[in-house]
Amino acid sequence: MRYEKGHRDETRRHILDVASAQFRESGIAAVGLAGIMSEAGLTNGAFYTHFASKEDLVREVLVDALTRREQRHKANLENGVAVETVIRDYLSARHRDRAGTGCPTAALAAEIARHPKTTRDAFTGKISDLIGLMAEQIRQGTAEERRRRAITIYSTMVGALQLARAVNDRRLSDEILENAVDAALTIANER
């Protein structure tokens, strides 16, 4: 059976989207290829037409998801969106409650630390790019100072989001987010 031009790319994109949501929602280790392919409406055998292994898929998902976040940061820069807006959006209850579509760093960082060097290299490069873009949004200080603050802000945001998702007390979770916003804005000199 012959498929239309672009079918292979569309199928690959669909597998990436399904895997990305499942990884962020449930964790990489908890998600199997059979579950991904079933939700994608494809056979397990079709997986290997697009990816060499689960690790290859993990790496592709990370690069894709982080590239999308990077594009959002670039658009923020081009449109003059303040770093305060980025911080408040990231540390919102809406973001906390939607892990499947949220930041892959907050959802997957602990697991990525245990993956092979090639996956960690791809993750590291994308995180460095995101930090650089955040540093560009910070208005005050030398380039080195802005980068240091961007690293601290990003680390604060990711850690706070992870902690806010992990606790089972909604009030405490909200407090974590609110206090992290205040801390990040102070670091950014936006207060």
The full set of domain ranges for the chain reads 55-187
Q: ∠ CA(145), CA(190), CA(106), 5° rounding? A: 75
Phi, psi of 27 (to 5 degrees): 100, 150
127-147 exposure pattern, b = at least 16 Cβ within 10 A, e = fewer: bebbbebbbbbbeeeeeeebb
Cβ atoms 70, 61 nearer than 8 A: no
72: pLDDT strictly greater than 60? yes
4: pLDDT strictly greater than 80? no
Per-residue confidence (pLDDT) for residue 8, from 0 to 100: 85
Tens-digit pLDDT profile for residues 129-178 = 999 999 999 989 999 999 999 999 999 999 999 999 999 999 999 999 99
Task: Determine the longest span between alpha carbons in the chain, in angstroms.
Answer: 62
pLDDT grade for 1, boundaries at 50, 70 and 90: low
d(CA 52, CA 60): 11
Tens-digit pLDDT profile for residues 105-143 = 999 999 999 999 999 999 999 999 999 999 999 989 999
55-187 belongs to CATH 1.10.357.10:
yes
Tens-digit pLDDT profile for residues 9-53 = 899 999 999 999 999 999 999 999 999 999 999 999 999 999 999
| Chain centroid, CA 24 distance in Å | 8
d(CA 129, CA 114): 21
What distance, in Å, lies between the first and last C-alpha atoms of the chain? 62
Tabulate helix, strand, coil % of the chain (nearest 5): 75, 0, 25
Per-residue confidence (pLDDT) for residue 46, from 0 to 100: 92
Cβ atoms 156, 183 nearer than 8 A: yes
191: pLDDT strictly greater than 80? no
Per-residue confidence (pLDDT) for residue 5, from 0 to 100: 67
